[in-house]
Chains A and B, each alone.
Chain A
Amino acid sequence: MDWTREALTDRVYEILREDLLSVGDEFTPRSSLIEAGLDSLAVTQLLLAIEESTGVWVDESLLTEETLASAESLAACVHAQIARA
């Protein structure tokens, strides 16, 4: 499957919302992931789920305060990694 940035955002958001975070309706693709309680274990589980969906492992060293700002920014980081792969 060819992953567009929008499709990736939807997938990342879905994994976070359904499987990893305990969040309400106020959580959107632009919400802060750190404030939503994302921790190191959840991030690694997220990366594993992304790998399962896309076949691409996102190098953890690429994760920064900026890339983890929201589901949208994280999806952009993943999209760039897929483009390079």
Chain B
Amino acid sequence: MPKSRAPDRVPLTGADCFLRAFDHEVRRKSGASHLSQLVLRLGPGFDPNALAKLIAEVAEAQPILRAPIRRPFGVLPPEFRLDLAAKAPLPRVEILDAPRSPGEPPLPPLFAERLNARLDGRRGELLRCDVVRHAGGAEGSDVAFTWLHMLLDGSGSERFVRWLDEVGQGARSAADLPDEPTTDSAVASARARGDQALRWQARMRSFASRAPRSLAGPLARTPQRLEVDLATFTREETERIVARARKLAGFLTPMLFYLAASVRAHRSVFQLRGIDPRSFVVPLPVNLRAKGAGGALFGTRVSLLWFQVFPEACAELEGLLADLKAQRLAAIKEGMVEAGTAAMDYARWLPRSAYARMARRSFGGELCSFFFAYTDEFLPGMTSFLGAPIENAFHAPSVPPSPGSGAIFSLREGRLNFSHVRQAGVFSGFELVRFRRSLRADLLGEAE
């Protein structure tokens, strides 16, 4: 996170402002906020009241958790106003009792409802927590942390949960955040960053020659009604999928395998509808944290690598993967990670509606084809949260009503989780079956 001009104010990163632009668009057109969610499925032994007490303690010690987001004089880059946090309410923790069905129980509907709600960043409403207890906790509990997306990114949210557990267990104090590494890499001059931002803009505009279509269509005024499906693969299936991802996409780039399978699954729905998607344009989040550093909980520290693939390149998974690999390498060689960061940094100065206007111009009213993320191993090595065993854990970031579909993959203790976050009504029941079949076939290398 950039250094604050004053100790009581923390500037939002460029990526934070990019997400804030999404939030603005979603608030204006769909009545919701652009949120993210992390879900922990816990076994017996969890005390939600201890969590509520802990959240209050850490929010007192870390004012950023309820710091109003304001733009000084209405035009300067927005900041987390730590100096105003004491006047903001503490993050809400709600506890609900609900029966749990046997086997792999479905997610509590409350969690999807939370993704459709509003959090008001201007008032310091940045984070909330919901606990659904089963049989008073004797049969386990589901915990959802839901936050305004610019407070934490995927990696930061996992670090936050780990830190929260350490504070709860007394291993560190609430005032003691992990060290945040400083990078001494040379910062490009303003002119160089301007050039980078322009290159990024040119790349985005190059997608316009065959602008994408999303399954939901361009963003219209429609209430956000997100649903979340979780598919958890067995250990045996996950072993096969992970081996296949390494073999086909490479040891360190399995995300391209999951991205390719997701593109093809969305394409299968377009085929069913008999509609030409024109192209698939998908952003891939890239973690910008210093490698090997433990700190950096708050703020969004990502850049985005954008891919465009054409339907004719999607006929075979292997061919599509070759296309994505070549695009990834070319984009990194051309400095598109840095260019994306520079462009998002400029967004700090722009009105919130500027990005959406640019995307609409470049993509014929669409923001992208669908959202995608692969976050690798979820909280590796952490087996319990506040004394209760973690049975499963995954992310469920919200997806605006357009593109209306988000594919999020992560691994937890040898099992692959796929969260499909989608706007109700975007997929028919039949289309959803087709989508899942296509995805499963590609992941496992089986015939549909």
Residues of A within 8 A of B (CB): 19-23, 36-45, 48, 60-61, 63-65, 68
Contacts and interface: CB of A to CB of B under 8 A. Distances in A.
B191 interface: no
11 contacts: A19-B185, A21-B290, A21-B292, A22-B293, A37-B290, A39-B291, A40-B253, A60-B329, A61-B250, A65-B251, A68-B252
Contacts of B286: 41
A51 to B, nearest CB: 9
A37 B171 CA distance: 24
Contact of A36 (B252, B292, B332, B333): B292
- Most B-side CB within 10 Å, residue of A22, A36, A42, A60: A22
B244 to A, nearest CB: 15
B329 A39 contact: no
Contacts of B185: 19
Given A39-B252, A41-B286, 13 more contacts: A21-B292, A22-B181, A22-B183, A23-B292, A37-B292, A38-B252, A38-B291, A41-B332, A44-B328, A45-B332, A48-B332, A60-B252, A63-B251
B337 interface: yes
A42 B288 CA distance: 10
B252 A21 contact: no
Interface string B317-360: 00000000100110011000100000000000000000000000
A38 B251 CA distance: 12
B392 interface: no
A40 B250 CA distance: 10
B173 interface: no
Interface of B: 181, 183, 185, 250-253, 255, 286-287, 290-293, 325, 328-329, 332-333, 337
A60 B293 contact: no
B251 A21 contact: no
Nearest to B305: A41
A48 B337 CA distance: 14
Contacts of B325: 60
- Most B-side CB within 10 Å, residue of A19, A21, A39: A39
A4 to B, nearest CB: 26
Contact of B337 (A41, A60, A61): A41
Nearest to A22: B290
B282 to A, nearest CB: 17
A37 B291 contact: yes
A40 B252 contact: yes
A42 B251 contact: no
Nearest to B331: A44
Contacts of B329: 44, 60
Contacts of B290: 21-22, 37
A29 B250 CA distance: 23
A24 B293 CA distance: 10
B250 A22 contact: no
Contact of A43 (B181, B252, B255, B333): B252
A20 B291 contact: yes
A22 B295 CA distance: 11
Given A60-B250, A63-B250, A37 B293 contact: yes
B332 A21 contact: no
